[in-house]
Structure formats: structure tokens, C-alpha cells
Amino acid sequence: MCGIVGVVGTTMVNQVIFDALTLLQHRGQDAAGMVTSHNGKLFLRKDNGAVSEVFRTRHMKKLCGTIGIGHARYPTAGTSSSAEAQPFYVNSPYGISLAHNGNLTNTKKLAQEVFEADLRHINTTSDSEVLLNVLAHELHAEGKLVPKPSDIFNSLERVYARIQGGYAVVSLITGYGILAFRDPDGIRPLIYGSRETADGTEYMVASESVALDAAGFKVERDINPGEAIFVDVNRNIHFKQCTPAKVARPCLFEYVYFARPDTVIDNISVYKARINMGEKLAEKIEEEWLNHDIDVVIPIPDTSRTAALQIAQRLNIPFREGLVKNRYIGRTFIMPGQTVRRKSVRQKLNPVPFEFKDKVVLLVDDSIVRGTTSKEIIEMAREAGAKKVYIASAAPEVRYPNVYGIDMPAAAELIAHGRTAEEICRLIGADKLIFQNLDDLINACIDEKHSNVREFDTSVFDGKYITGNIDAEYLENLEKARNDVQKSGSEPQQSSDMMQPF
């Protein structure tokens, strides 16, 4: 679930892109990159690492220009190699750089077309590099030396006709502007805003509203499913609905885990949705668990805090911060590889024994995916002297792989795949386990007053893939290619780009 940003400003944009990427860091911590443009030249810096590690002062000084795009990566295709850090670049036509959040589901076919029919070379296994080449091919096919917005949108309509999956994309067309677009179902989020300066209006497109808020950009609106926005170098703004308008079906897991709580996606506050998740789960506990003996509610930091607080309030039970999070360790779920994830849970979370000793504790997590976190924490709770350890998950059982930009490719790695709640409970070592119902989760996210979203991409919970092109064979191949064992294999280290990053 990468973070993307694009800015067309009146002054240098490197710092504002850096700041936005820092605010989007929770969406991807494997690699980061930025391209800026000045006087027809491009400047690229990208590498593995967190945003603050990738961009040092010496790099920032070279990233000049009033227009640029950035990316924070969490790999869902290809490898974690620095060669697959984004933005990607192709020189023809115009010089195009691209940053992508999401995952294409017809990459194999596209890669073949790009090579055999479009006569283009792809140097990595990244779906985003394929996407860039499809865009470049279609822009080239339009055949305009000086493309107008209508030419760009025409080519983009053909791109939409070719690509499938979940995607939010931002691309810099050198000398012309920034083009950003969102998949036809609105699975991945994309929003834009503006900021007034003495020299005119500046624009930012980003994955989450939090990036706009913090930089003083006023949120204008979400980009609609299948819609594109083009901000030219003179800061004129253009829109085009590139596919027939559909209802938005944003990814439900954004509200559960991915997005920051202070973000608003498709006019739904992530914070409010998480409060509602807590409320619904507390109702379920009250209904199914008469005369429970819970002494204390303890969140598994960070993401579950909002829901846990509401559960405690509704059940009228003390809420305690019994687990302390090391603020210097990133999110464990988006780390590549199970060994590092397991080790990081212990490094990241440490119990306050006093809050567990001789108590019946209800641990709350936002989701249980591989079960890595809950298993370790339950063990810790017992070591700290808990009398009984219950666990509640604000999301239902995650039973199916994700194909739209979350790295859950292998059903076998999901603890709930093919298992009942009782079996999962036993495996993670809890005394009792309770999951949110899917309908309750959906209702927790619907905000009839502010948003017209009524449906979501719920594929990880119910196995229904809304893009319609996912079958058993696709999932089988994905599992073979991207399971944890496979991913820990060797990775190419050369840069993929013809434009060498510094």
C-alpha cells in the first residue's frame, strides 16, 4: 500500500514532497523516491529505506524545480530491490516518470504486449514499470509533439482499456505537467487539494488527505473512480472521466489498518470508522458474552487504539496502555518476510507487567492476518502474569489473498484461511477470540451524512474480487510467485532506470 504524491508549485517543491512522503510513511517503509523537474531536466533520487534515510541534505539540494512527484514503497509485485523503488522513468515520449499505489492484475499479459507489440523493454518484475510503459506507448501513439490535455486524456482512455486491478497513479510528463488517475472502482485512494500563495495557486495530489492538511493545502475533493486530473506546468487544472462512471468501492482494509486515523477517504473519516468498529464489536461482545469477566481492555498498539478505546467505554471497563510501543520500529505487517516480522513484534511491543498481573485482559487488535502479532502478544501477556487472555479483532477473519495492493498473496499464510474462529483461537493461544462481523464492519465505515460510498472492496474477507478477472489459477500462480519463501530469494541490484538516480 504505497504512498504517492505529486505537486505543481510556485517555488521549489522538494521540501513539500519530502514532508508529504513523511506523512505517508505508514503506507510503505521499504523504499522512497522523488523526481523533480527544472528547465526541462529531471532530478531523481530513490533508494531502499525510510523517507528520512533516503533523502539527505545532499540529495535534497539537487532536487530542484517547481514540479515533482514522490513515492513511499511497500512492495506487492516484483522484489524489494532498490531497482524497483519508484518513481520509474522512461525517456520517450517527453520523459515520463511514474509512481503507483496498487497492484495490476493483468501484468503478465501487459508485459508480453509491451515487449512484443509495443517493442518496449521492461527491466524489472515490477507491475508499475509495465504500467509506465503502457502509458508511454499510448502517449506516443497519440503522436503529438506538444500534447494538449485532451491528447493526454485520449491516450489515458486507452491505458484504462488495457490495465486491470487497483491503482492510484501520479506521473510527471516533463515540460507539460502532472497527470494523476484512479482505478475504475476507486479501490485505491487519491485526493487533491490547493494552496494559495502570493504567486498563484499550487496543487497537490496524494494518497491521503493527511498529506494535504499538514502542508496547508485545502482539500478540494477525492478523484472519482476512473477519473484523471492533469495539472499543467502553468498550474491550470483539467479533469476527465476516462471510464464510464461507477460507484466507488474503496478498499475496506484502508479503514481497518492502512490509512492514518486523521485521514478522510471518499468523505469517510478513518478515525470515525474505527470508533464505530469499536462500538459494533462491543455490541457483539455484550450480546454473545453475557456476564463476561473482563477486568481490563488493552490495545495492541498502534492502529487498534481507536477501536479499543471505544470498546472499553461501551463496556464500561478500564482502558489501559499495557503494551508500550517502541516508536523507532516501523509497522510490522508491511515488513517483507515472516522472520523479520516475528522478531519485530517483540522489539516493537513490550508489556507493562502490572497491567497484566492476575487480571483477565481483553486484548484488542484492528485485524489478525498472519497471526504473528497476536500470537506473540498473547504469549507476552501470559509471561506477564495474566489470569486469562481474550482477544478481539475489529475486522473479521482475513481469509483470502489481496490482489489490489496489499501484500497478502498466499492464502496459506493467512491464519484464518480454512480455519474456524475456535481453531484460530487455539493456534494463537488465546482463552477466547471474537471477530467483528463483515456487515458490522461495512456499516461502521458507511457515513450516510458525508459520503455516497455504500460498498467496498471486501475481497480479503469474502473472496469476492470486484474487478472480475481473478480466478483460481490466477491466485495459485500468485501464491507460487510471491509466498514468503519465494520472496526471500535473491534479488537483482542494478538500477532499472535509464535515468540514473543519485
Ligand X SMILES: O=P(O)(O)OC[C@H]1O[C@H](OP(=O)(O)OP(=O)(O)O)[C@H](O)[C@@H]1O
Ligand Y SMILES: NC(=O)CC[C@H](N)C(=O)O
The stretch among 50-58, 104-112, 231-239, 360-368 that binds ligand X (CB under 6 A) is 360-368
Cβ 375 to ligand Y, closest distance in Å?
25
Cell of 282: 462491543
Question: Any binding-site annotation on 22?
Answer: no
Q: Which one of residues 188, 249, 359, 370 is an interface residue with ligand X (CB under 6 A)?
A: 370
What does 355 interact with, of ligand X, ligand Y, Mg ion, none (CB < 5 to 8 A by kind)? none
How far apart CA 390 and CA 40 sit, in angstroms, is: 60
Question: Any binding-site annotation on 303?
Answer: yes
Q: Where are the alpha helices (DSSP H) in 107-148?
A: 107-116, 127-142
Q: Which residues of 310-347 are buried (b: 16+ CB within 10 A; e: fewer)?
A: bbbebbebebbebbeeeeeebbbbbbeebeebbebbee
Q: Where are the alpha helices (DSSP H) in 297-366?
A: 305-315, 338-348
Q: Which one of residues 300, 386, 394, 478 is an interface residue with ligand X (CB under 6 A)?
A: 300
Binding site for ligand Y (CB under 6 A): 1-2, 28, 73-78, 100-103, 126-128, 405
What residue is closest to Mg ion based on CB? 303
Which residues are registered as beta bridge partners of 241?
227
- From its phi and psi, is residue 39 left (phi > 0), alpha (psi between -120 and 50) or beta? left
Task: Please name the residues in contact with 175: beta carbons below 8 A apart, sequence gap of 6 or more.
Answer: 37, 40, 94, 95, 233
User: Given the complex with Mg ion, which of 24 and 369 has the nearer CB atom?
Assistant: 369
Q: Is 460 in the site for ligand X (CB under 6 A)?
A: no
The stretch among 2-10, 242-250, 263-271, 366-374 that binds ligand X (CB under 6 A) is 366-374
Question: Any binding-site annotation on 420?
Answer: no
Pick from 173, 190, 77, 72: nearest CA to 132: 173
The stretch among 181-189, 222-230, 289-297, 330-338 that binds ligand X (CB under 6 A) is 330-338
Binding residues among 252-281 for ligand X as defined by CB under 6 A: 257
Q: Is 369 in the site for ligand X (CB under 6 A)?
A: yes
Q: Site mask, ligand X, residues 371-410, x = CB under 6 A? A: xxxx------------------------------------
Q: Is 167 in the site for ligand X (CB under 6 A)?
A: no
**Do residues 401 and 291 make contact, with C-beta atoms less than 8 angstroms apart?**
no
Q: Is 308 in the site for ligand X (CB under 6 A)?
A: no
User: Given the complex with ligand X, which of 71 and 331 has the nearer CB atom?
Assistant: 331
Binding site for Mg ion (CB under 5 A): 303
190, exposed or middle or buried, with CB in 10 Å at 0-12, 13-18, 19+?
Answer: buried
Q: 445 an active-site residue?
A: no
Beta strands in 356-498 (DSSP E): 360-365, 388-393, 432-435
Cell of 344: 519485530
Tally of CA atoms within 13 A in the half-sphere of 334 that contains its CB: 24
Annotated binding site for Mg(2+): 303, 365-366
Residues annotated in the binding site, as ranges? 303, 365-366
Binding site for ligand X (CB under 6 A): 257, 300-303, 331-334, 365-374
Which residues are known to be catalytic?
A: 2
